[in-house]
Amino acid sequence: MPSPTLKVRVASAKNAPPVPPPATFNVNCGTFTGAANVNQQPGYRFQVTACDVAEPGAGKDTFRIDLTGPGGFSYSRQGTISEGNVQIQKQQDIMRLCGAG
Is 1 part of a structural domain of the chain?
Answer: no
Is 60 part of a structural domain of the chain?
Answer: yes
- pLDDT, tens digit, 9 for 90 and up, residues 56-72: 889 999 999 999 999 99
Asked whether the whole model's pTM tops 0.75, one would answer no
Segments forming the whole domain that contains residue 40: 8-97
Is 66 part of a structural domain of the chain?
Answer: yes
Is 2 part of a structural domain of the chain?
Answer: no
Phi, psi (degrees; rounded to nearest 5) at 49:
-125, 125
Measured CA to CA, the distance from residue 93 to residue 26 in angstroms comes to 15
To 5 degrees, how large is the angle CA 43–CA 25–CA 66?
A: 30
Provide the domain count of the chain: 1
Is 3 part of a structural domain of the chain?
Answer: no
Statement: residue 53 has pLDDT above 60: yes
> Which run of H or E residues covers position 95?
helix 91-97
